[in-house]
Amino acid sequence: MAPEAAAIPLLTPYKMGNFILSHRVVLAPLTRQRSYNNVPQPHAILYYSQRTSKGGLLIAEATGVSDTAQGYPQTPGIWTKEQVDAWKPIVDAVHAKGGIFFCQIWHVGRVSNSGYQPNGQAPISCTDKGLAPVIRANGVDVAQFTPPRRLRTDEIPQVVNDFRVAARNAIEAGFDGVEIHGAHGYLLDQFMKDQVNDRTDEYGGSLVNRCRFPLEVVKAVSDEIGPERVGIRLSPFANYCESGDSNPEELGLYMANALNKYGILYCHMVEPRMKTVGERVESPHSLVPMRKAFNGTFMVAGGYDRKEGNNAVVENRADLVAYGRWFLANPDLPKRFELHAPLNNYNRETFYVSDPVVGYTDYPFLDGSF
């Protein structure tokens, strides 16, 4: 049998707009907290290039759009020239190996505290409702949140503009496009979800109003860099950071349809079964209605292994499958899927440590090299 005929569904080529992907195994956006002072570091060159394959799509970790966007230690930004310049060699390294690289642009909104904010001010959100403290991913530290300040209606265009400028900066840094982070309880999701959004202006109340700000961001970013370079990540079913919705199907479907108007490249949705970022539960819900509604490339993520990824492609539930933890621990994940080789296990304890090597670039390739 010819090798092409033998290729598993995940390793078949796919044309995503103007990008010719050689396979469908995508690096999911993964915060690694190794960008000291919010500046991407040289060690990210090795990390991302290890995970690059020719014609493979990578999505960079969540990257702040402004000085109010941060809520975690050592996460990268893309609002200063220093940050843009620091991304360049990282992007170049991915391109040198034939990868396609999108930057996930991010604002945490209320998932922050005054220690991360300019002049110690309160974080911004759609609401002034605060978050209860939570145990950090290391199981020891407790994250404390400062009650947010509700954005005034007339301040919203400035935040939309921050996303626009960040997208332009990402292109300036050499990225092939951006993924707008509209998932996981961060700023855009805070506006969309009725459990959080308690506004009474045109950005709150009805579903149309709650989706207005995220869609203004989509429009501004698309106008700036072209819709053919724009993706968005959504998690309508998730309730991370106290960000749930009473009718997630309706929300997901409304967004999928509304996005068609802007003709953006892809919609990336997190599976309903992902109860928290790292915990999978059974769910009766499905992303299939949104997949059917959205006209562009549809990407799924959350709890996928090789078999389920293949099934999703074969059953036409997705064009692309993003892998988080398995790709974090297996720099050559597409190759391992091709060979049906065993996978390195991931170590949660080093997901977010600031070490430039440990838990970052020291997961071996199949042949034992790095």
Ligand X SMILES: Cc1cc2nc3c(=O)[nH]c(=O)nc-3n(C[C@H](O)[C@H](O)[C@H](O)COP(=O)(O)O)c2cc1C
At closest approach, how far in Å is the CB of 210 from ligand X? 20
Q: Does 23 bind ligand X (CB under 6 A)?
A: no
At closest approach, how far in Å is the CB of 328 from ligand X? 6
CA dist 55 and 52 (Å) reads 8
Residues listed for the chain: 370
Q: Does 277 bind ligand X (CB under 6 A)?
A: yes
Residues labelled as active-site residues: 186
Taking CB under 6 A as the binding criterion, the range among 7-15, 193-201, 299-307, 332-340 that sits at the site for ligand X is 299-307
At closest approach, how far in Å is the CB of 111 from ligand X? 12
| Lookup: tokens for 119 | 């002049």
3-state helix, strand, coil in the chain (%, to 5): 35, 15, 50
Footprint of ligand X on 216-255 (CB under 6 A) = 233
Judged by CB under 6 A, the residue of 274, 293, 300, 320 near ligand X is 274
Q: Are 78 and 70 in contact (CB under 8 A)?
A: no
Residue 77 vs 302, nearer CB to ligand X: 302
What is the rounded radius of gyration, in angstroms, for the C-alpha atoms of the chain?
Answer: 19
Helix axis angle, 156-172 to 81-96, nearest 10°:
40
Judged by CB under 6 A, the residue of 8, 21, 26, 31 near ligand X is 31
- Per-residue contact flags (x/-) with ligand X for residues 64 to 103, judged by CB under 6 A: ----------------------------------------
CA dist 365 and 370 (Å) reads 6
Distances from the Cα of 1 to the Cαs of 39, 165, 313, 336, in angstroms? 49, 50, 21, 20
* Chain contacts with ligand X (rule: CB under 6 A): 28-31, 61-62, 104, 181, 183-184, 233, 270, 274, 277-278, 301-304, 323-326, 351
